Amino acid sequence: MPFGYKPKNITISRQADSWYVSFKVETEPKDTPKAVDKVGVDLGVKTLAYLSTGIAFEGAKSYKKYEKKLAKLQWRNRNKVIGSANWKKAQIKIARLHRRIANIRQDTLHKLTSYLAKNHSQIVIEDLNVSGMLKNRKLAKAIADMGFHEFRRQLEYKCKLYGSQLIVADRFFPSSKTCSNCGWHNPDLKLSDRWFLCIGCGSFLDRDWNAAINLSRWSHHRSHACGQVAADSLG
């Protein structure tokens, strides 16, 4: 806990075999100088986030290996007698791995959201409560894995803290399917297409970067103008 803060409340919790003490402190909002005015952020499945400025944040790859280990442990533990000493030992190992994975994810997200809120005046993100996306089971799992909801929660409070503004783009804004250079619309862009190739102007760039640039230009006005037209072409 930073020196000089008075804790508002203290929580003691137990995870796996360790005890944790957490303090809630009240801090004054602190505006930071912003290097970039407006940034669009595209949250991806392969890359955690692509910013319109060209910066890409990789996801926490390191937890993948722990996930494999976790699956192995759970599989090995399947025949043990529930409640036995060996079973208990394995359960603690499993819980520890769960905690490690959660910590890595949380840490990655904190780095991203702090960077965004501290260095950009306006941050445009997608509205991710999209039923179409969640109907796709594979994508839904990826969304959950990346902690997209946690991403938004962190960004909301950090924007308040550092004096930036969070803008959530209309869910029908076709950020992925529109060329960020000329506005050409590609209705056939698939989720598996990693690159955006524009037939209109010949632009060829990473699909997530293209989407991020479109998001950085999003405004309420535009969404109302084309929301109806774009409603059937989510993406």
Q: How far is the CB of 182 from Zn ion (least distance, A)?
A: 3
| 3-state helix/strand/coil string of the chain | CCCCCCEEEEEEEEECCEEEEEEEECCCCCCCCCCEEEEEEEECCCEEEEECCCCEEECCCHHHHHHHHHHHHHHHHHHCCCCCHHHHHHHHHHHHHHHHHHHHHHHHHHHHHHHHHHHEEEEEEECCCCHHHHHCHHHHHHHHHHCHHHHHHHHHHHHHHHCCEEEEECCCCCCCCECCCCCCECCCCCCCCCEEECCCCCCEEEHHHHHHHHHHCCCHHHHHHHHHHHCCCCC
For the annotated catalytic residues, the residue numbers are 42, 126, 208
> Smaller CB distance to Zn ion: residue 124 or 198?
198
> Smaller CB distance to Zn ion: residue 23 or 195?
195
Q: How far is the CB of 130 from Zn ion (least distance, A)?
A: 25
Footprint of Zn ion on this chain (CB under 5 A)? 179, 181-182, 184, 198, 200-201, 203
Q: How far is the CB of 188 from Zn ion (least distance, A)?
A: 15
